[in-house]
Amino acid sequence: MISETSLQSRYLDLISNSLQNSIYGESKIDMKLQQLLQRLRHPYATRRQTFDFPTRALTMIGDSGLKNIRDLVTRTLSDNIPGDYIETGVWRGGASILIRAVLAAHSIKDRKVYVADSFEGLPKPNGQKYPKDKRDRLFVFEELAVSQETVVENFDKYGLLDDQVVFLKGFFSETLPRLTTERFALLRLDGDMYESTMDALTNLYDRLSPGGYVIVDDYGALNSCRQAVHDFLNSRGLAPTIHRVNEGVHWFQKDA
């Protein structure tokens, strides 16, 4: 007889494999065509490189990134760290869907998943206020603009769209300051830019429960994102141990 723990693990394994489309795999031809279209649409932005956006997967963070989310959300439950969960910058919704799946697997009914995004792509950089973003060109990539309707539909396809999922549409500087009473057990930051990362930390860190976790998707990949993290931590006199998950994803824990 299969144990409940084994069933939970098999369910979450299947969700993770589906979200990153590892079951069927991405089409190499479609990926090449997408890169060609990027060069044609944005010759300046992609002169040095093109982005390997998956054509079907709902996430770009890979197996290690998904395992990291699953592990830390599970820790918040086993360690009774109070609060909800929020992802700032969700793309097609894959990471947020996994968080909701972990709650479902553990029959958690009293915690919510906040899905925060402009659903219109990244903002144009404010180079005067945030010099680290001055040369950022991510706003030109249409592939990063996924509508709220699409993300809602993706949640629904997994049977995970319910009142435990809360959508926050708009740029972080507009939406996150409204979260004045919420408490969070985990923050997942995927805003790429200095401004977006700083907005998330400034507005959400004080709402994070002691012992809660912060995952920063592009800490290791983008200097602007990493600089925002350290500027924020230094402004608070904080020096948490920052753990590496993969080349991009890193995480740290709030002092309990």
In Å, the largest CA–CA distance within the chain is 63
Is 42's pLDDT higher than 80? no
Length of the chain: 256
In contact, 57 and 169? CB cutoff 8 Å: no
* Closest CA relative to residue 76, chosen from 97, 103, 116: 103
What mean pLDDT comes out for the span 204-226? 96
Domain assignment of residue 206, yes or no: yes
147-167 pLDDT, tens digit each: 999 999 999 999 999 999 999
Domain assignment of residue 5, yes or no: no
Domain assignment of residue 33, yes or no: no
Instruction: Report the range of poorest mean pLDDT among 84-98, 99-113, 128-142, 242-256.
Output: 128-142
The three-state secondary structure class of 179 is: coil
Q: Label residue 68 by pLDDT band (50, 70, 90).
A: very high
Question: Which pTM does this prediction carry?
Answer: 0.89
First-last CA distance in the chain? 39
**Helix H or strand E segment including 251:** strand 250-253
In contact, 57 and 18? CB cutoff 8 Å: no
What is the Cα 48 distance to its own chain's centre?
25
Number of domains composing the chain: 1
Q: Which domain holds residue 170?
A: 58-253
Domain assignment of residue 45, yes or no: no
Cα 223 to Cα 128: distance, rounded to the nearest angstrom:
18
Cα 34 to Cα 231: distance, rounded to the nearest angstrom:
36
Domain assignment of residue 222, yes or no: yes
- More confident: 212 or 7: 212
- CATH number of the domain enclosing 248: 3.40.50.150
Domain assignment of residue 53, yes or no: no
Is 138's pLDDT higher than 80? no
